[in-house]
Amino acid sequence: MPQPLRAITEEQKRQFDTEGYLVVKGLFSPDNLAEIESTFETMSHETVPGYFEPNLAGDSQDPLKRYPRVMHPHRFNDTAKKYMLHSPVLGILADLYGEEAYAAQSMFYYKPPGSRGQALHQDNFYLKVEPGNCIAAWTAVDAADEENGGLLVVPKTQTYDIACPDTSADTTESFTNHYVKPPKDGVAMPVIMDKGDVLFFNGNLIHGSYRNKTKDRFRRAFICHYANASAATINIHYNPLFKADGTEVVLEGNPDGGPCGVEVGEFTYH
């Protein structure tokens, strides 16, 4: 028997199941956001080898050299781990999965003015959660729109198989060369978000992001990925996972090379 819905309505669950994504408004409070902002503002002036390695001299033409993404901040920062396990997020994930969610990854993106976006792709190509799927919870720390590098989704593509991306992406606009072509009838649409909103989306959904075309607006985002508790395997780079109470869970490393027939490491993300 499926668990009764608690954190979201039946209509919201239907939206996620039908379209592959769901925006939940105001899931992070102003106080939550202030703590996240303060933590990552302090971090932006530091170097954490292997996780965050900015060019603090600021002498590069690429703004992403000064403000690269922070990978797995939950592994070295208590605030990041706390909000990766944010109970309102986990409650919604439990409703979307129909079972408990395990946290697999956290990231923070500064995305300063002028930053490239990321070409269309699918997340579970990289996480390789099986059986089941990963779900992303993408939190807008700044309002996100078409001008400052907000997200694009191709609705209903969560029903498509994971594809091997080609390497045709325009690297003047995307910081990776991976690209997954949407179906003929697929339309990439912007997701407009306010501070504190969270976008949940299925690991097969084709999505990407715009370049930040503004001169004075960052598009900061706190992004986490989760796996269903019944999953048996995951890309080994994402172990250990975490239960809501912080208990570590180690899944078997997925040996499947995926649709490209090769092992891929941790993915880069918008």
The overall average pLDDT reported for the chain is 94
Question: Of 77, 126, 151, 55, nearest to 268 (Cα)?
Answer: 126
Residue 261 has pLDDT above 60, yes or no: yes
Indicate if the alpha-carbon torsion angle 197, 7, 102, 76 is positive or negative. Answer: positive
In DSSP terms, which residues pair with 139 in a beta bridge? Answer: 198, 222
Tens of pLDDT, residues 111-149 = 999 999 999 999 999 999 999 999 999 999 999 999 999
User: How many CA atoms lie within 13 Å of 52's alpha carbon, on the beta-carbon side?
Assistant: 26
pLDDT bin (cut points 50, 70, 90) of residue 67 is very high
Q: What's the farthest any 2 CA atoms get from each other in the chain?
A: 58
Q: Which long-range contacts (CB under 8 A, 24 or more apart) does 29-38 make?
A: 29/196, 30/196, 32/83, 32/86, 32/196, 33/141, 33/195, 33/196, 35/79, 35/83, 36/79, 36/83, 36/141, 36/222, 37/141, 37/220
Q: Residues 208, 118: contact at Cβ < 8 Å?
A: yes
Rounded to an integer, the average pLDDT of 39-58 is 97
Neighbour count for residue 32 (Cβ, 10 Å): 19
pLDDT bin (cut points 50, 70, 90) of residue 263 is low
Q: What is the pTM of this model?
A: 0.94
| All domains in the chain, ordered by first residue | 10-260 (2.60.120.620)
